[in-house]
C-alpha cells in the first residue's frame, strides 16, 4: 500500500474489491456498494433517531438533522422559488448522499465511492433525465425553444442550435467530472504525502525529523478535504437546483 520498493502507489486506493465475503462476491457486491449502504443507513439513522425527541429546544443530533433540512430547504426555495419545494426530497437525498459519501471517504480504511466516475455520472445523469422530463412535462414543445433564444437572427440558427444542444448535453458531464476530479485529486494528494512520510522516516537519523514536514502538510490537507467534501456536495446540490430552476422557468 505505502512505499513498497520506493514507489508511490497513489491509485490503488480506488480499486474495487469484494465485500461481504463469498455471498457478496457471487453478486459482485464491492466495497463501494457497501459504503453506499452504510451512508444510506447513516442518513436514515440521523433523520429518524435524531428527530425522535422532537424537542422544542433541539439536542445535538436533532439540531444537526434540522439544520441539514433547513439548509437544503433554503437552497431549493432560493434557487427555484416556492414551487420548487416539490423537488426538495430529491435534492435533499442527493445532497446528503454525496455529503456523507465524501465525509465517510475521509476516514481511514474507508472507501470514497464519489471518487468513481461511474457513480458521479450515474447521479448526474439522473439529474439530467429529471430536468429534461420536468421541462418537457411543464412546457411541452416550448421546451425546444430553449435551444434557440428569442430575438436571435434566423440565419444564425445552424450555429446556435448545435452549440446550445452541446451546451445542454455537457451539463451532466461537467457535474460528474467536477465531483469526481475533486475527490480523486484530494485523495491522491493525501496518499502521496502520506507516502512521503513513510519514505522519509526510513532514511536514517535525519529521516524522522524531515518526515514531520509532509505530516504537517497532510494534517492541513485533511482539514482542506473536509471543506472540499462539503463544498462539492453543496455545488452538486445547488447546480441541480439551478438546472431545475431553468427547467421550471424556461427562458
Partner 1 sequence: MSKQDGFDKRLQDARARQGLDRAAGGKGGLPGGSWGLGFRAGVEIVSALVVGVVLGLLADRWLGTWPWLFLLFFVLGSVAGVMNVFRLLKPRVVDRD
Binding site for partner 1 (CB under 8 A): 74-75, 77-79, 81-83, 85, 159, 162-164, 166-167, 169-171, 173-174, 177-178, 181, 231, 234-235, 238-239, 241-242, 249, 251
Contact residues for 173 (Cβ-Cβ < 8 A; gap 6+): 121, 124
Q: How far is CA 166 from the centre of its chain?
A: 23
Q: Which three cell numbers stand for residue 240?
A: 441541480
In the complex, least distance from residue 244 CB atom to partner 1, rounded to whole angstroms: 13
In the complex, least distance from residue 234 CB atom to partner 1, rounded to whole angstroms: 7
Cβ closest to partner 1, residue 56 vs residue 166: 166
* DSSP-derived secondary structure letter, 125: H
Cβ closest to partner 1, residue 32 vs residue 232: 232
Question: What torsion do the CA atoms of 111, 117, 123, 125 make, to the nearest 10 degrees?
Answer: -170
In the complex, least distance from residue 92 CB atom to partner 1, rounded to whole angstroms: 15
In the complex, least distance from residue 224 CB atom to partner 1, rounded to whole angstroms: 11
Cβ closest to partner 1, residue 197 vs residue 248: 248
Please tell me the distance from the alpha carbon of residue 128 to that of residue 153, in angstroms, as a whole number: 29
Cβ closest to partner 1, residue 75 vs residue 184: 75
Backbone torsion region of residue 50, taken as left when φ is above 0, otherwise alpha when ψ lies between -120 and 50, otherwise beta: alpha
Amino acid at each position: 500500500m505505502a512505499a513498497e520498493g520506493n514507489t508511490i502507489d497513489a491509485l490503488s486506493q480506488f480499486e474495487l474489491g469484494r465485500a461481504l465475503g463469498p455471498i457478496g462476491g457471487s453478486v459482485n457486491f464491492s466495497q463501494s456498494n457497501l459504503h453506499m449502504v452504510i451512508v444510506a443507513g447513516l442518513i436514515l439513522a440521523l433523520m429518524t433517531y435524531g428527530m425522535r425527541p422532537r424537542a422544542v429546544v433541539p439536542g445535538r443530533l436533532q439540531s444537526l438533522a434540522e439544520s441539514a433540512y433547513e439548509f437544503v430547504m433554503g437552497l431549493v426555495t432560493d434557487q427555484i422559488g416556492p414551487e420548487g419545494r416539490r423537488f426538495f426530497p430529491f435534492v435533499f437525498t442527493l445532497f446528503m448522499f454525496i455529503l456523507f459519501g465524501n465525509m465517510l471517504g475521509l476516514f481511514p480504511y474507508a472507501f470514497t465511492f464519489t471518487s468513481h466516475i461511474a457513480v458521479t455520472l450515474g447521479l448526474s445523469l439522473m439529474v439530467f433525465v429529471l430536468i429534461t422530463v420536468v421541462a418537457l412535462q411543464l412546457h411541452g414543445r416550448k421546451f425546444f425553444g430553449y435551444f434557440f433564444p428569442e430575438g436571435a437572427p434566423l440565419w444564425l440558427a445552424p450555429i446556435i442550435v448545435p452549440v446550445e444542444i452541446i451546451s445542454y448535453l455537457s451539463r451532466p458531464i461537467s457535474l460528474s467530472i467536477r465531483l469526481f476530479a475533486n475527490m480523486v485529486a484530494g485523495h491522491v494528494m493525501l496518499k502521496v504525502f502520506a507516502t512521503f512520510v513513510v519514505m522519509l522516516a526510513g532514511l536514517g537519523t535525519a529521516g524522522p525529523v524531515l518526515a514531520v514536514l509532509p505530516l504537517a502538510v497532510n494534517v492541513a490537507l485533511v482539514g482542506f478535504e473536509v471543506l472540499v467534501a462539503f463544498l462539492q456536495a453543496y455545488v452538486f446540490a445547488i447546480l441541480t437546483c439551478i438546472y431545475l430552476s431553468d427547467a421550471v422557468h424556461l427562458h
